[in-house]
Structures are given as structure tokens and as C-alpha cells.
Structure 1
Amino acid sequence: MYKNILVPVSYEADRNAQGAMEIAKALCTEGGSITCLHVMEQLPKYATEYLPEGHLEAAKANIVASLKALVEGVDGATTRVVEGHSSRTILTHADNNDIDLIIVASHQPGMQDYLLGSTAAKVVRHAKCAVHVLR
């Protein structure tokens, strides 16, 4: 059982955030904590100029609401939305918050993942704690 679990949540179609939360609840020790973290990738400045005013704030508000619904009724669960590079931000959060398990939902790897590496693969390779990958 784990005391401090991190569940990075991606809203891509093939990710199973609910399944990751179910695993987190099953593996969390009594009195432990679960943090659902969403990393908003930073857009280049030139790209943000083409977005409607308030778009990023509205997107963040929708993500916050979705994360709150995901942890509703789960004791010791919190949510965070941050900006940054996905894998680096997940790993830094884990290191800075004494995370002892990361549960990451992944997809079936495609050719681009073998060449560049997916977020889940980078987390598995570089995490200093246990990592559970959900497919």
C-alpha cells in the first residue's frame, strides 16, 4: 500500500483517468493521499495570439471542474492544474512532494513513441518512485 499517490490526468481520448483513480483508491493506504495532476502544455507565444480572449482561462476552469468530479467522494484526494512540460513537470512534482507511487494511464505505443518517447515512458524511465502504468 502507498501513502502518497500521484495520478497525472491527460484528457486525450485514449486515456483512462477513471481507471487510474480506481487503482489509486485500491492502492492507497488508510489516511494516505491521492493527487490528481493535470499539466497544461505551454503554447508558444505566437500561437496564443490567435486564440480568442479568455480561451486558456476557460480551458483551465473546465479542467479544474473535470478533476474535481474525478475525485469527488474520494477521501484524501486533491487536484492540481499546472503549466509546463508533461513528463518533466510530473517528475518534479513527484520529487518535491514525497510521492511514493505514480499511476499513469498510457496508450498503445505508435512509431512516434519509439522515436521520441511518450510521457508515460519518460516517467517510467526517470521516476525515483514506483510507477504503475495503466493501458
Structure 2
Amino acid sequence: MYSHLLVTVAYEGEHDAARSLQVARALAAPGAKVTLIHVMEPAPLFTLDYLPENWREDMHRAITADLGGLAAGFEDGHAVVVEGDPAHEVLDYAQENGVDCIVIASHRPGTHRLMLGSTAAKIVGRALCAVHVARRAD
């Protein structure tokens, strides 16, 4: 059982946080702190002229609200939205905040995921704490 879990939540097509949240509940010690984190990646420069003026702030606000709702399902749940490279930001947050287990979703690899470039592979390879990779249940 872990006392501070960091659960990554991605807001992209096939990603679903349900499995990761289920795993976090199973691994959390009574009264554990559970932090849900989403990392917003920088938009490609060529897209900036096509996006509404406050798109980043609006997206940040919407993701924070959604994460907060998910975090409310835990006794000591918290939501964090940061910006940057996902693997780097998750690893930094974990180290700086005393996280003892990172829960990250992974999917069955297709040909584009066979290389060790995925966020999950980077986190597994570099984390200084335990990492639980939550597979989709299908």
C-alpha cells in the first residue's frame, strides 16, 4: 500500500482514466494522498494563428475542473495541471512531492508504440519510485 500516489490522466482520444483510478484505489493505503496530474504539451507553433485567443487558459480551466471532479472521489484527492514534456513533468513532480507510486495508463502497443519512446516507457525507465502500468481491460 502506498501513501502518496500520482495518477497520470491524459485527455486524448483513446485514453480513459477509469482503469488508472481503479488501480490507484486498490494500491492506496488508508488516508493516502492521491494526486491526479495532467501535462499540457505545448501547441505546435504553426497552429497558434488558428487557435482562439484564450485557448490555453480555457483548456487549463476545463481540465482542472474535470480533474478536480475525479480527485474528489478520493479521501485526500488533489488535481494538478502542468505544462511541458509529459514524462519529464511527471517524474519531476513525483520526486519533488514525495510520491511513492506513479500510476500510468498504457495501451496494447501497435507498430508505432513498439519503440521505447512512449511516455509510459520513459517513466518506467527513469522513476525513482514504484510505477504501476495500468493496462486497458479489453
> In the alignment, what sits opposite 1:71?
71
Once the two structures are superposed, residues 6-53 of structure 1 have per-residue CA deviations (whole angstroms, 9 ceiling, x without a partner) of 001001232231221121122111222000000000124443232111
Identity %: 42
Query: Which structure 1 residue ranges, 5 or more long, are not aligned?
Result: none
CA distance in 1 between counterparts of 2:73 and 2:124 reads 29
* Matching residue's letter, 1:31: G
User: Following superposition of structure 1 onto structure 2, how do residues 1-135 of structure 1 map, counting pairs within 5 Å?
Assistant: 1-115=1-115, 117-135=117-135
* Matching residue's letter, 1:122: K
Does the 8 Å contact 2:72/2:78 carry over to 1? no
Normalization by structure 1: what TM-score?
0.92
The Cα of 1:128 is off from its aligned counterpart by 0.9
CA distance in 2 between counterparts of 1:80 and 1:47 reads 25
Does the 8 Å contact 1:18/1:70 carry over to 2? no
Normalization by structure 2: what TM-score?
0.90
SS in 1 for 2:74: coil
* Matching residue's letter, 1:91: L
CA distance in 1 between counterparts of 2:113 and 2:30 reads 37
Does the 8 Å contact 1:8/1:36 carry over to 2? yes
Aligned positions, number: 135
